[in-house]
Amino acid sequence: MKKFMFVITTILLLITSSCENEQIESKKSVSPSFPIITKIDVSDNATPMGDRVLGINISDNKNGFYDSFLEAQKADIKIVELNIPWNAIEPKKQHYVDPWDGVFQQISFYGENDIKVSLSIALINTVKWEVPNDIKLGDENFVDRFNQMISYVLSIIPDNVTIASISIGNEVDYVLKDDEWESYGEFVNQAKKHIHSINPNIKVGVKTTVMGGFLGYQKDYIAKLNEFTDVVMLNYYPQNNKFEVLEPSIILDHFDVIANTFPEKVIWITEIGYQSGDNLCKSSELKQAEFYHYMFDAWDKHSEQITTIQIDWLHDQSKDSIKEFKEYYGNDKALVEYLSTLGLRNYDDTDKMAWEQLLKEIDARNR
């Protein structure tokens, strides 16, 4: 699976995005073939949420960000992600900016609402490097330049905002060559030490993919890289390379494999999603809802090890957002359907079955 996300979870999106329902099937009234649970149904087997952290990256509906934020609060979210390329923060050598009209200052909104922020500094962003054009991995000053940039970022974060984590790269397994993994790991280790010298409470990791990397030939590279991290960070979209979804229950097996591979590590599922598109992606609203049912079952089983899950995303994407994706990643029709239908809700501010399911699952575990 290939994950295509640029700045979906940034405040820029939260302020400016309008969303598209391209390829989305209409809301269904049929009952699912599995039980949409209630408190009574799960009183004996649903694991209370406890200290687990659930996040949903808030993409707008037609009414804008604040209305979407209020909707997301129904799920008792505790964290959101901000994904920003290095070269957006340092557009010129050692010249730093708060990008996109002051995105770092604007996250004070989350601090006011007691929501933590995960930073993804996307020096690698799924399909390419996003570093200042005068340096590259392996250069003598690469680590120092990254650390200087991170020092700037952390110095301008509003005082009321808690930065829960920093990911050094977004889905790096799609870009790193076989002979680059070792040097990237050494870089991550040095960057982690610098971040901890500023704030030892920030968890440092590297976002890699489950389907494209961990379950592929790069598994050993990813395991080795995570020897240098505080937490294992994985992005999970269960689909094949044609963007066709896998069966929703596959998450039960995949979470077992993940947990068994990292028995001594804390694991964060930094992105998780399941599209509802029924044409090229071979999914449906029913399958999407079922996936989130099984997600909670799988999470319950591994609740002590998998401490954080962040869902992508709240609403289906806008025509403007999809246009930007096409420009960045290419105009693949299956990709467009995938990106258009990942939302738990429709852009027109109506629920999908997945949102109804999710709220019931959460309610059962917050009893």
Domain coordinates in residue numbering, the chain: 11-365
Report field, pTM of the whole predicted structure over 0.85: yes
Indicate the pLDDT class of residue 327, thresholds 50, 70 and 90: confident
Distance from C-alpha of 366 to C-alpha of 159, rounded to nearest angstrom? 30
Residue type at 193? Answer: K
Pick the CATH number of 11-365 from 3.40.50.970, 3.40.50.300, 1.10.287.610, 3.20.20.80: 3.20.20.80
pLDDT the model gives residue 11: 37
Indicate the pLDDT class of residue 34, thresholds 50, 70 and 90: low
Distance from C-alpha of 15 to C-alpha of 18, rounded to nearest angstrom? 9
Most confident of 2-11, 259-268, 322-331: 259-268
Indicate the pLDDT class of residue 35, thresholds 50, 70 and 90: low
What's the mean per-residue pLDDT of the chain? 89
pLDDT the model gives residue 201: 98
User: Where is pLDDT greater, at 32 or 198?
Assistant: 198
pLDDT the model gives residue 44: 53
State the burial class of residue 286 (Cβ atoms within 10 Å of its Cβ: 0-12, 13-18, 19+): buried
**pLDDT at 26 > cutoff 50:** no
User: Where is pLDDT greater, at 9 or 67?
Assistant: 67
Residues of the chain with pLDDT > 70, as a percent, come to 88
Check if the beta carbon of residue 259 is closer than 8 Å to that of residue 306.
yes
**pLDDT at 229 > cutoff 90:** yes
Distance from C-alpha of 116 to C-alpha of 295, rounded to nearest angstrom? 22
The predicted model gives 304-313 an average pLDDT of 97
Distance from C-alpha of 55 to C-alpha of 58, rounded to nearest angstrom? 9
Give the pLDDT confidence of 59-72 residue by residue, as tens digits: 999 999 999 999 99
**pLDDT at 303 > cutoff 80:** yes
Distance from C-alpha of 348 to C-alpha of 20, rounded to nearest angstrom? 9
Check if the beta carbon of residue 307 is closer than 8 Å to that of residue 51.
yes
The predicted model gives 88-95 an average pLDDT of 97
Indicate the pLDDT class of residue 37, thresholds 50, 70 and 90: low
pLDDT the model gives residue 42: 44
Indicate the pLDDT class of residue 33, thresholds 50, 70 and 90: low
pLDDT the model gives residue 1: 38
pLDDT the model gives residue 159: 98
CA nearest neighbour of 276 among 359, 361, 352: 352
Residue type at 256? Answer: D
**pLDDT at 36 > cutoff 60:** yes
187 three-class SS:
helix
**pLDDT at 203 > cutoff 50:** yes
